[in-house]
């Protein structure tokens, strides 16, 4: 039995919402992994995290944070 247009529209909207939620959950999982990594970093005497760079001034962790924010529009 064919679906009426309203039912078809609702199914499409539910599918879009499900995909959006899955993408948000994946973004949260990535962010949590980065936060756990930051929590394990060395700290200075004041308790601030020390985020160092290599000889060229690059930092893989910061690059990954920037990529996460850009990819997920956070």
Helix (H) or strand (E) holding 56: none
**Cα gap 13→4, rounded to integer Å:** 14
pLDDT band (50, 70, 90) for residue 74: low
pTM of the model: 0.60
pLDDT of residue 60: 80
SS3 for 49?
Answer: strand
Hey, where are the domains in the chain? 5-71
Asked if 51 contacts 62 with a C-beta cutoff of 8 angstroms, the reply is yes
* Three-state secondary structure call for residue 15: helix
**Cα distance from N-terminal residue to C-terminal residue, the chain:** 43
């Amino acid at each position: 039995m064919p679906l009426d247009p309203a039912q078809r529209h609702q199914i499409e909207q539910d599918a879009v919402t499900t995909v959006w939620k899955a993408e948000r959950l994946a973004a949260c999982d990535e962010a949590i992994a980065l936060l756990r990594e930051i929590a394990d970093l060395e700290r200075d005497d004041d308790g601030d995290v020390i985020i160092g760079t290599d000889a060229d001034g690059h930092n893989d962790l910061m690059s990954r944070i920037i990529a996460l924010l850009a990819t997920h529009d956070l």
